[in-house]
Amino acid sequence: METKLLWGKEELFDHFVATHPRGDVLQTTQWGKLKQGSGWTYYPLGAMEEGELKGTSLILTKELPLGRTLGYSPRGPLYTSEKALDALLAAGVALLRKERAVVWKMDPAILQGDQQWDQVARENQLRAVDTGLDFQGVQPQHVMALRLDHSVDTLLKEMKSKTRYNIRYAERKGVQVSLVKEKRLLGVFYCLLQETALRDRFMIRPLSYYEAIWDHLVEHKLAQFFLAYYQKTPLAGAICFRLPHRVWYVYGASSNEQRNLQAAHLLQWEMIKWAKSLGCGVYDFRGVSGDQNENNPLYGLYRFKEGFGAKLETYVGEYDLPIQRGGYILWRAGLALHNRMRSRFRAGSR
């Protein structure tokens, strides 16, 4: 098994990601290029056997204090055999040592309980990171996935009655959903996002980040913006990521105005139908809390996504592969302090 950085063969790398059953937009080189705008460097690592690509890992690196770096493979690595995974891990460690990394983080979209992953993790001394049941991880461990292998009528029929009612109500009232085809309309989406962030008290990225999503993802058919209007007034917006097998609902925003029109429900339904029209097998609503207790403040998010017929999937979660043991211990201590301060800030802002 030969490993190499596939510079100049990025189409080959991205094709492997797009056709892998666990492939994710976050593992494409276009995502790496997008992340360059926020201080990351990307490396398209591949494992080859007899000239055929058997595994890939997009590795992102970012500078840390004291001349060290962090390595991260969002939703990776991807592989076709344990042999390919072993080769990727060995080559990734060698690469990150040269880059003075303290750790290589990864969070593959592998369902919890996968025996092959568990064995490789033990053999390579990967450390499972406890990110809790909510959203403390970099990527969500608990996601809601809707299978699209039924007809549109059946998908609608299998939704919760309240969800189905809200969709039809929005249609009757004249709410309309459109695919955003002009980059200038990102400003409309961003205004909705600012309104949502202010209402729900969370931080958002600058407009330039969403412009980069357009340039690197929308232009390469890896993402799509949507807007929902009522009589020319924008009420809701969303961004979906896409690969041939799966569509992900990644960002959503809504206005404080005329929330009774249920634009968000119709927006989701139109995106589900869009995903099905592409031939995708799954519409991924992304994260929810792993705690489905009705008293959990995040339960409403789970209930909203479940209403469309989506089912809970739990992945193996985050893993750390320490590169420099002493540096890794210091980094974990600093990260724990940062997370405690962030939790106190969130609690104080409620």
Residue 137 lies in a domain: no
Name the residue with higher pLDDT: 221 or 131: 221
Residue 301 lies in a domain: yes
Q: Lowest-confidence range among 56-70, 123-137, 175-189?
A: 123-137
Q: Are residues 322 and 308 in the same domain?
A: no
Q: In the predicted model, is pLDDT for residue 229 greater than 60?
A: yes
pLDDT single digits (tens) 247-290: 999 999 999 999 999 999 999 999 999 999 999 999 999 999 88
Output the pLDDT for position 293: 86
| Rounded CA separation 258/262 (Å) | 8
For 10, the domain range is 2-132+316-348
Q: In the predicted model, is pLDDT for residue 349 greater than 60?
A: no
Residue 275 pairs in a beta bridge with: none
Mean pLDDT value of segment 29-51: 97
Q: Are residues 297 and 162 in the same domain?
A: yes
Exposure string for 137-157, b = 16+ CB within 10 A, e = fewer: bbbbbbbbbbebeeeeeebbe
Residue 154 lies in a domain: yes
Residue 39 backbone phi and psi in degrees, to 5: 90, 10
Distances (CA, A) of 256 to 192, 193, 222, 233, 262: 9, 11, 29, 12, 12
Place of tokens 């409309």: 188
Q: In the predicted model, is pLDDT for residue 185 greater than 60?
A: yes
Q: Are residues 293 and 339 in the same domain?
A: no
CATH number of the structural domain spanning residue 343: 3.40.630.30
Q: Are residues 96 and 152 in the same domain?
A: no
Distances (CA, A) of 248 to 144, 182, 272, 281, 321: 10, 21, 10, 11, 27
Q: Are 103 and 70 within 8 A, CB to CB?
A: yes
Output the pLDDT for position 348: 39
Copy the structure tokens of residue 41: 């460097």
Q: Are residues 227 and 343 in the same domain?
A: no
Q: Are 283 and 265 within 8 A, CB to CB?
A: no
Q: Which DSSP state fits 185?
A: G
Q: In the predicted model, is pLDDT for residue 340 greater than 90?
A: no
Element spanning 143, H or E? strand 142-147
Q: Are residues 229 and 241 in the same domain?
A: yes
| Rounded CA separation 191/221 (Å) | 24
Distances (CA, A) of 221 to 29, 146, 268: 13, 21, 19
